[in-house]
Amino acid sequence: MSSVNENQQNLDFVRQIVADDCKSGKWDGRVVTRFPPEPNGYLHIGHAKSICLNFGIASEFGGKCHLRFDDTNPEKEEQEYVDSIIEDVKWLGWDWGKNLFFGSDYFQQMHDWAVDLIKKGKAYVCDLNAEQIRQSRGTLTGAGNDSPYRNRSVEENLDLFERMRKGEFPDGSRTLRAKIDMSSPNFNLRDPVMYRIVHASHHRTGDKWCIYPMYDWAHGLEDSTEKITHSICTLEFENHRPLYDWFIEQLGIYHPQQIEFARLNLTYTVMSKRKLLKLVQENLVTGWDDPRMPTICGMRRRGYSPAAIRSFCDKISVNKFNSTIDFALLQHCLREELNKSSPRVMAVLNPLKVVIENYPQDKVEYLDAINNPEDLSTGTRQIPFSREIYIERDDFMEEPPKKFFRLSPGREVRLRYAYFITCTSVIKDSAGNITELRCTYDPATRGGDAPDGRKVKSTLHWVCAKNAIEAEARLYDNLFTKENPDEAKEGKDFTAYLNPNSLTKLAGCKVEPSLKDAKPLSRWQFERLGYFCVDSDSKDGKLVFNRTATLRDEWAKIKNAGA
């Protein structure tokens, strides 16, 4: 992984804190971070920012990063999500070694610490229900009201908490609350709930527990148990830090430092797992891995490379101000990376047949084509050429306007790696649609140059008709039409802004025969058309390609316009 901390000036504020701590010996030189997803959905590009930050710091400072599942809510969590998260973090290129942990493994310890707090008079069993607790919370300007159960004796609290644990009470009938301060200006300190009763099976602990810890109670204890040094989370937890610190201080246990950074927001998409789940459940997309989704698995299927995502996370850096990143920047990072790594091939998305009349009937010849001009070590391949080929329908116009330099009647153009051809006639069906072009070629221009030095104004990609493979291409546009779909107007929700044209399927595409054995997820540049990736729907010799990105870099345009 790249090492950014060589140049001290370039450290983001989190890395600066870590560097300072290493220098001062605050944690005895240890650096232990963690990525703590809740297994209640698939990871998205926002999580990638947190993953690259936590794993990146560990690798740059010679520390460790734990992968820890914050699995404290049995109602929303599933093994499927655990498996997908493991796959996605690995795919992004990170390794936690033996440091895979589950919050649920600490349930007994958390319970024992809760008993400690009860014994210290710092926690009590409350019989108010969720709604009553909400109502007694107070307002931004006014203090809340003490629960009538706040002053129960330690003995009574211990007894009731034990009976909660044993399953004597129905869901929601009681909670264990921290006894802090109902008039604190910070709502999080107004006697927050630590445990709730939920008779639900947990994906790992089964029916062992019917009380489950709340996030704020559990999270710091998980960090403490694992001797985390820097507990990095997003800004909305800044107000929770006093509570994080309070629990740990009351218990007198190992105390990690919580540091908050701004979460990633991207234009033209949504990032909350709840919203992504809604898209999946209501079949508004084909699944978590729909190539239009901002999920890691969706991006993988779309053709994003881990290196591109890591480079994006590097570029956006880490700070304390919430902002929204332009989707075009992500695609820019993607293009930079794919340009270097993707082999070039020729494919025709909207084929128009061309018959080269002066080319021998049964002849097939093989021409050299460069696999990747950005990486000549990848060598060349041979592509077949014969009397019938396909070109892109768009590359021909019967009556070309002034600035159209591609093929038209009487005009000569170059076929990439092959010959110059000249269009001699246009064949149409009875409805007037063009069905075929007739051309002649100049045998002296083999390889793409004329020995007499004559020039042509354009070079077209093409595929040999005899050997072409049939394929489907799926072209994508933004999933939403609005830059910020979360800003839904009255009465509408974010789904009102779904882009009806986010997916275009083109059947009957023709691709060159070298793609015959292209593996699922392999990435290619179709010359002049963009970056494409083989979809998992490819089967029985039928190839399906997802367009990962077009070749045009919108980000460069935006940047240049600003300059």
37 binds, among Mg ion, ligand ATP, none (CB under 5 to 8 A by kind): ligand ATP
Shortest distance, CB of residue 278 to ligand ATP, whole angstroms? Answer: 12
> Active-site residues: which are they?
38, 263, 273
291 binds, among ligand ATP, Mg ion, none (CB under 5 to 8 A by kind): none
Q: Which amino acid is at 149?
A: Y
174 binds, among ligand ATP, Mg ion, none (CB under 5 to 8 A by kind): none
**Could you give the string, one character per residue 35-54, with x where binding to Mg ion holds by CB under 5 A and - elsewhere?**
---x----------------
Q: Which amino acid is at 413?
A: V
- d(Cα 525, Cα 201) in Å, to the nearest integer? 48
Shortest distance, CB of residue 46 to ligand ATP, whole angstroms? Answer: 2
10 binds, among ligand ATP, Mg ion, none (CB under 5 to 8 A by kind): none
Q: Are 383 and 344 in contact (CB under 8 A)?
A: no
Alpha helices in 355-494 (DSSP H): none
Which range in 45-53, 87-95, 97-105, 419-427 contacts ligand ATP by CB under 6 A?
45-53
Nearest to ligand ATP of 258, 502 (CB atom): 258
Shortest distance, CB of residue 387 to ligand ATP, whole angstroms? Answer: 55
Nearest to Mg ion of 38, 127 (CB atom): 38
- d(Cα 16, Cα 206) in Å, to the nearest integer? 42
Nearest to ligand ATP of 137, 263 (CB atom): 263
- d(Cα 35, Cα 69) in Å, to the nearest integer? 8
Among 4, 38, 138, 528, binds ligand ATP (CB under 6 A): 38
272 binds, among ligand ATP, Mg ion, none (CB under 5 to 8 A by kind): ligand ATP
263 binds, among Mg ion, ligand ATP, none (CB under 5 to 8 A by kind): ligand ATP
- d(Cα 36, Cα 256) in Å, to the nearest integer? 14
- Which residue of the chain is nearest ligand ATP when measured via CB? 46
- The residues that bridge with 231 in the sheet, in sequence order, are 258
CA angle 352, 357, 363 (to 5 degrees): 95
Q: Which residue has the tokens 């200006």?
A: 185
Shortest distance, CB of residue 70 to ligand ATP, whole angstroms? Answer: 6
Among 15, 47, 310, 387, binds ligand ATP (CB under 6 A): 47
List Cβ neighbours of 483 (8 Å cut-off, separation of 6 or more).
267, 268, 324
List Cβ neighbours of 397 (8 Å cut-off, separation of 6 or more).
404, 406, 407, 408
Query: Rg of the chain over CA atoms, in angstroms?
Result: 31
229 binds, among ligand ATP, Mg ion, none (CB under 5 to 8 A by kind): none
CA angle 396, 398, 402 (to 5 degrees): 85
Among 15, 49, 302, 332, binds ligand ATP (CB under 6 A): 49
Nearest to ligand ATP of 46, 303 (CB atom): 46
Nearest to ligand ATP of 37, 298 (CB atom): 37
> Residues 242 to 281: which contact ligand ATP by CB under 6 A?
263-264, 271-273
Which range in 41-49, 166-174, 240-248, 351-359 contacts ligand ATP by CB under 6 A?
41-49
Can you tell me whether residue 50 is helix, strand or coil?
Answer: helix
Strands 459-460 and 412-415: parallel
Strands 344-345 and 175-178: unpaired
Among 21, 27, 46, 213, binds ligand ATP (CB under 6 A): 46
Shortest distance, CB of residue 81 to ligand ATP, whole angstroms? Answer: 9
Q: How many CB atoms lie within 10 A of CB 453?
A: 6
Q: How many CB atoms lie within 10 A of CB 88?
A: 23
Name the token pair of 279.
């898209």
Shortest distance, CB of residue 278 to Mg ion, whole angstroms? Answer: 17
- The residues that bridge with 325 in the sheet, in sequence order, are 266
Which residues of this protein are in contact with ligand ATP, per CB under 6 A?
Answer: 36-38, 46-47, 49-50, 233-234, 263-264, 271-273
